[in-house]
Amino acid sequence: MKKKLQIFISSTFTDLIEERQAAVEAVLRAGNIPAGMELFSAGNKSQLDTIKKWIGESDIYILILGGRYGSLENESQISYTEIEYRYALELDKPFFAIVVNDEMMKQKVHSQGQNVLELENQDKYKKFKEAVLSKVCRLCKDSSEIKLAILESIIDIQNQFDLTGWIKGDEIPDNTIILNELEIIRSERDVLQKKVLSLETLTKKASRNHSIGDYTYEEISKVLEAKTIVVPSAIINQDEDWETNALLAMVGFSASFTTGVTATMSTDIQRFITNKLVPTLLNFGLVERQKVRNTGMKMEYDKFVLSALGNKFLSLYQLEKADKK
């Protein structure tokens, strides 16, 4: 027959109710028996002795550490949670710790307030957490990961130790139930992670303002991609002409637009950009016309520079390119 292990779950209480419930569910799913401080009302020495007796009789000890240190025992001024943890180590009890990670703590503070954080005994909490992190532990970000960590750790401990359990025997523990539950939880976790990633991507895209003046980024991109631009090889020092579209040409020549291009007293490439590309960009307000006065030659001419709308358009182009990677 399969052994039923008694597993003691230790933690602070009011701030970790959901996490303890997840741990209890994982222990029960594995066909074992959970035990913990909710069975007692810690407050005097006799009750603490009873708790120690339960830890001693349990097969495995689990600590769940959140952001609280917990109520102090009168004589030692150490929290009951830390006393339980130390006692389990003293007994060389098979154990592991679940530590709520920073991401999950931020969510708990947001939903439950500052009462989930240790405000009175911060130094004691910090030292206790450092001690816990120095030994066997898993950082978890949600209840699903807590369940998965507990199921996996139970299997590891069963493979390392010959545990007594409630039903004594020499049989090899049947881990079929746990393995099945692990597979279910892993599948649930993978589905949830994909949904979260998809929602984050959609949220980021939805939060962007794609309007470029009277048009959208998508509308302008479509027009620019449809317009063919052939850049002569002579002005770009290449063996062959560069056949591209207006969108890629704008991106490629963006540095020139930053300082400005003109067809007057300029290079071949600037004259080409001004004559072949600027008119299309002007239609959408992506570049703007500036009047330049040459006092020495007593003349005035036009220079075309990237506008605020043009800067926004190129930024959205880079973001879209990054999203596709």
CATH of the domain at 254: 1.10.10
In this structure, the answer to whether residues 77 and 198 fall within a common structural domain is yes
In this structure, the answer to whether residues 144 and 237 fall within a common structural domain is no
CATH of the domain at 188: 3.40.50.10140
Residue that terminates a domain, selected from 181, 202, 223:
202
3 state SS of 294 = strand
In this structure, the answer to whether residues 226 and 86 fall within a common structural domain is no
pLDDT tens digit sequence for 271-280: 889 999 999 9
Residue 1 lies in a domain: no
Residue that terminates a domain, selected from 175, 202, 229:
202
3 state SS of 70 = coil
Residue 9 confidence (pLDDT)? 94
Q: Residue 42 — pLDDT band, cuts 50, 70, 90?
A: very low
3 state SS of 236 = helix
Give 299's strand partners: 294
pLDDT tens digit sequence for 220-236: 999 999 999 998 888 87
Q: Is the pLDDT of residue 302 over 50?
A: yes
Lowest mean pLDDT among 142-156, 197-211, 274-288: 197-211
pLDDT tens digit sequence for 51-105: 899 999 999 999 999 999 998 988 899 999 999 999 999 999 999 999 999 999 9
* Cα 258 from Cα 287, distance rounded (Å): 10
In this structure, the answer to whether residues 244 and 286 fall within a common structural domain is yes
* Overall average pLDDT of the 248-259 stretch: 87
Q: Are 42 and 72 in contact (CB under 8 A)?
A: no
* Cα 188 from Cα 2, distance rounded (Å): 27
Residue 137 confidence (pLDDT)? 94
Is the entire prediction scored with pTM above 0.85? no
Instruction: Order the strands of the 137-140 sheet from edge to edge.
Output: 33-36, 6-11, 60-65, 95-100, 137-140
Query: Domain containing 240: what range?
Result: 211-323
Residue 198 lies in a domain: yes
Residue 167 confidence (pLDDT)? 64
In this structure, the answer to whether residues 234 and 104 fall within a common structural domain is no
Residue 268 lies in a domain: yes
Average pLDDT taken over every residue of the chain: 86
In this structure, the answer to whether residues 112 and 243 fall within a common structural domain is no
Q: Are 199 and 162 in contact (CB under 8 A)?
A: no
Burial of 82 by CB count in 10 Å (0-12 exposed, 13-18 middle, 19+ buried)?
A: buried
pLDDT tens digit sequence for 307-317: 999 999 998 88
Residue 146 lies in a domain: yes
Q: Is the pLDDT of residue 205 over 60?
A: no
In this structure, the answer to whether residues 195 and 53 fall within a common structural domain is yes
In this structure, the answer to whether residues 14 and 129 fall within a common structural domain is yes
User: Rounded to 10 degrees, what is the CA torsion of 135, 141, 147, 148?
Assistant: -80
Residue 116 lies in a domain: yes
> Which tokens sit at 50?
């009873």
Residue 199 confidence (pLDDT)? 73
Residue 107 lies in a domain: yes
pLDDT tens digit sequence for 110-162: 989 999 999 999 999 999 999 999 998 999 999 999 999 999 999 999 889 88
In this structure, the answer to whether residues 108 and 152 fall within a common structural domain is yes
In this structure, the answer to whether residues 25 and 158 fall within a common structural domain is yes
In the chain, the number of structural domains is: 2
Residue type, 282: L
Residue 193 confidence (pLDDT)? 84
Q: Is the pLDDT of residue 202 over 70?
A: no
In this structure, the answer to whether residues 138 and 112 fall within a common structural domain is yes
Residue that terminates a domain, selected from 136, 170, 202:
202
In this structure, the answer to whether residues 183 and 62 fall within a common structural domain is yes
Q: Is the pLDDT of residue 40 over 60?
A: no
Residue 120 lies in a domain: yes
